[in-house]
Amino acid sequence: MSFPKGFLWGGAVAANQCEGAYLEGGKGLSIPDMLLGGDVNTPRTFCPKIEEGVFYPSHTAIDFYHHYKEDIALFAEMGFKCFRFSINWARIFPNGDDAAPNEEGLKFYENVIDECKKYGIEPLITLNHYEMPFELVKKYKGYYNRKTIDLFVKYAVTCFERFKDKVKYWLTFNEINMPIMEPKMGNLYSVGVMQDVDLQRTAPCKFPELTDVPQERIEALHNQFVASAKAVIAGHKINPNFMIGNMICHITWYPLTPNPKDLLEDQRRDSICNDICGDVQVRGEYPYFARKFYQDLGVDTSFMDNEEDKKIIKEGVVDFYTFSYYMSNCVTVQEGVDQVKGNMMGGAKNPYLKASDWGWQIDPDGLRWTLNKLASRYPNTPLMVVENGFGAFDKVEADGSIHDDYRISYFREHIKAMHEAVKDGVPLIGYTTWGPIDLVSAGTGQYAKRYGFIYVDKHDDGSGDFARSRKDSFFWYKKVIESNGEDLV
Ligand code: BGP
């Protein structure tokens, strides 16, 4: 049994990590524009205002804004069936609460969509990939304020109306579970909740110094569920053929030992990190364990009993479940065990796995496990892996070639694992690798953490001329797509 006919092979990016042109075309500031880069050991820095003479990675990113034709042509050369990208909300509504949308922003995305369609590439659009207009953070405290629900829905409807005949696949919020897993980063990045004390700082500060108010971040997440559900309902009215999905950062956990206490902790982590958000968006209700988890954080959960919200969440369930998968982590109640880093969350070191230079453990079997878990938890729900990839330092040879066999090997094993899952019977409809072209890392703000099949000449000190070139993995992925996942050599 092979990958289904029409399988959506492709790649995924986010506007703030690739577009640059941060104030062009009438765009307003969005959250990532306020962030400086870090590295594997240095968290990113938040700047309450833009500082002069400092390099902000999102301001230029890889200049996709001016290179999109060239980049989409390269994706087409690899045979992409699907390209996942996000619309930067601040290009459409620069302040988030403007009365009318910015035509120049809409036109830019229309051009990107048309360019994809020219090559038969199906666009998959994320409406919110950590890109809330910064004005909404300052004015409303992001999603903590219920007004933001309607502002998001207005923005979503604007995009749905404009592109209703050109785009079928949509995702509402990227990695909506982030505020549960990475509270400090999630407060700002994901739900746009900031305290005055942080907004009024006179100097930039590192993420871990930001203030966490669990009540506000958890209520803001609830408001995102309502916003997502309202957008799904509105989208289906605009075009009943729309496929609108959720997007979860799936952190796959294993107990480090057979100690039953490790198993219990493993179950708790999986439930909290992954299943609260998945259940709300696919089943249309909170799972039973959510309330206790929230109460343990000291959160007053009366917002969960809002009857109108319950109705909306029930009605606005998604059409498919999508997720990012990069790695797995172990948990244990033992103290003093070796730790590794990871996407959003680290964990105990797994003695069976190797890790990337950023400490993310490489685990293709975990992808098969995850796909099977999701297929049984959400029966009859199509699944799609919308992010998977290997961040690495690349070396450019004297002749310009880049031999990224480590990346090929990562993808080969993960595609084999997906294939096994398909044979197991998992309803997998597509696979978009993360960063098919090098871009800015979300976690560290680095260029040096490269994911692409396509190299971009741009570096952490701001140097580089944005020239694109094909890595070895480019030619390899082209063969994979051509053979519908059969030729992995
Ligand atoms: C996910 C985000 C992406 C992306 C990816 C890789 O969590 O949705 O935006 O960046 O992780 O992470 P990083 O960029 O930190 O290497």
Residue among 324, 341, 433, 460 to mutate when testing ligand 1 (max atoms within 8 A of CB): 324
- pTM, two decimals, is 0.98
Written as one letter, the residue type at 329 is N
Radius of gyration of the chain (CA): 21
The confidence score (pLDDT) of residue 185 equals: 87
Q: Ligand 1 centre from 228 Cα, in Å?
A: 21
What is the tens place of the pLDDT at every residue in 154-189? 999 999 999 999 999 999 999 999 999 988 888 999
What ranges make up the beta strands (E) of 192-268?
Answer: 205-206, 243-249, 252-255
| Alpha carbon nearest to ligand 1 atom 10, residue | 442
CB-side neighbour CA atoms (13 Å) of 170: 31
Give the pLDDT score at 184. Answer: 87
Q: Please report the pLDDT score of residue 271 as a whole number.
A: 98
Q: What is the pLDDT, as a whole number, of residue 1?
A: 72
Query: Per-residue pLDDT for the chain (489 aa), expressed as one digit of tens each?
Result: 789 999 999 999 999 999 999 999 999 999 999 999 999 999 999 999 999 999 999 999 999 999 999 999 999 999 999 999 999 999 999 999 999 999 999 999 999 999 999 999 999 999 999 999 999 999 999 999 999 999 999 999 999 999 999 999 999 999 999 999 988 888 999 999 999 999 999 999 999 999 999 999 999 999 999 999 999 999 999 999 999 999 999 999 999 999 999 999 999 999 999 999 999 999 999 999 999 999 999 999 999 999 999 999 999 999 999 999 999 999 999 999 999 999 988 999 999 999 999 999 999 999 999 999 999 999 999 999 999 999 999 999 999 999 999 999 999 999 999 999 999 999 999 999 999 999 999 999 999 999 999 999 999 999 999 999 999 999 999 999 999 999 999
Beta-ladder partners of 450: 392
Percent of the chain beyond pLDDT 70? 100
Relative to beta strand 468-470, strand 454-456 is antiparallel
Is 413 a residue of the active site?
no
CA distances from 379 to 130, 217, 269, 424 (A): 29, 30, 22, 14
- Residue whose Cα lies nearest atom 2 of ligand 1: it is 442
Ligand 1 centroid – CA 13 distance (Å):
9
Which of 35, 173, 343, 444 has most ligand 1 atoms within 8 Å of its beta carbon, as the pocket-test mutant? 343
Token output for 302: 């009366």
Helices (H), 302-435: 307-315, 364-377, 405-424
Question: What is the residue with the minimal CA distance to atom 16 of ligand 1?
Answer: 441
Distance from the CA of 108 to the center of ligand 1, in angstroms?
A: 24
Contact 450, 393 (CB under 8 A): yes
The residue contributing the CA closest to ligand 1 atom 5 is: 442
**Hey, what are 304's tokens?**
């969960």
Out of 135, 175, 182, 219, the active site residue is: 175
- In this structure, the chain runs to a length of 489
Residue 272 DSSP one-character state: I
What is the CA 347 to chain-centroid distance, rounded?
Answer: 20
- For 471, the token pair is 């890595």
- Between CA 462 and CA 41 the distance in angstroms is 20
pLDDT per residue as tens digits for the range 278-293: 999 999 999 999 999 9
d(CA 280, CA 275): 8
Distances (CA, A) of 68 to 71, 127, 244, 487: 5, 19, 25, 29
Each residue of 223-254: b (16+ CB within 10 Å) or e? Answer: bbbbbbbbbbebbbeebeebbbbbbbbbbbbb
Residue 165 DSSP label: T
Per-residue confidence (pLDDT) for residue 479, from 0 to 100:
98
List the residue whose alpha carbon is closest to atom 3 of ligand 1. 442
Has 19 been annotated as catalytic?
Answer: no
CA distances in angstroms from 252 to 330, 347, 449, 454, listed in the order given: 8, 11, 22, 28
Residue 305 CA from chain centroid, whole number? 29
Do the beta carbons of residue 265 and residue 339 sit within 8 Å? no
Task: State the DSSP code for 63.
Answer: -
Tokens 């009857």 label which residue? 307
The rounded Å distance from CA 261 to ligand 1 centre is: 31
Sign of CA dihedral 403, 362, 355, 74: positive
Residues enclosing ligand 1, CB less than 6 A? 14, 17, 174-175, 249, 324, 343, 387, 391, 434, 441-444, 449
399 CA distance to ligand 1 middle (Å): 30
- Dist. CA 309 → ligand 1 center (Å): 30
